[in-house]
Amino acid sequence: MTDAQDGAWSDLAPRYVIDAPRDAASTSIRPGSEIDPIAVWGRSAPLIAEIGSGQGHAIVHAATSAPDTDFLAIEVFKAGLARTMLDADRAGAVNLRLVEANAPEVLEHLLPAASLTELWVFFPDPWHKNKHTKRRLVTDAFATLAARALRGGGMLRLATDWEDYALQMREVLARSADFEPAFAGEWAERHDGRVLTAFERKGARAGRAIRDLAYRRVVSDPEAG
């Protein structure tokens, strides 16, 4: 990391970073480490999480634009989280928290069931080589974990600039009994809350179509909401 990022980690991490108990790996989450969002954010409010927040451009913008909503940035790269904290501090985003961890373990072990109002997965690593596609995030197992973390009626929003990954995402969510599409036609409209990032610009310059998808968490028990 740069000196500024090192300084951000020392000065700002106590305010922004959730110090999650670890399992075997440095970015793992120990089972049984569930947080209390009201205690972490200091209030009861809608909670949105972004997986793969990168340098935080999207989520810092979202947090400053929606002060009545709480946000969680999930990222494994420490330098990106440090940059996120610097920008969040400058913007005065007091409703944002960060966790350096593997996203599936955050959904399974750190977040309480039905705690999220929205979950964002914008431009995840496409692992575009055939031998690497099995490493992609959005799989049937991921859909199950996302459904666990989202409340009934909550939204799962996805975007990618790789056509075959977009098709895979759509196939995965179509198989899941926990989600229903929140769009008509082949693809969803671009999510208004997603700012234009370097990843999206790069894909557009390369001539790749940007695909958005949006799914609503099915309410299986009407009494549970």
The answer to whether 83 touches 53, Cβ cutoff 8 Å, is no
From the CB of residue 115, how many other CB atoms can be counted at a distance below 10 Å? Answer: 20
Integer Cα distance of 203 and 196 in angstroms: 11
Query: Which residue type, as a one-letter code, is found at position 151?
Result: R
Residues near 47 by Cβ (< 8 Å), separated by ≥ 6?
37, 41, 69, 70, 71, 72, 115, 116, 117
- Please confirm, yes or no, whether 192 is among the known catalytic residues: no
For residue 35, CA distances in Å to 88, 102, 109 come to 22, 16, 9
The residue among 200, 134, 197, 199 whose CA lies nearest residue 168 is: 134
Pairing of strands 70-75, 96-100: parallel
Question: How many CB atoms within 10 Å of residue 61?
Answer: 18
Residue among 125, 178, 212, 221 flagged as catalytic: 125
Instruction: Please name the residue that has the structure tokens 């909670």.
Output: 47
**Catalytically annotated residues:** 125
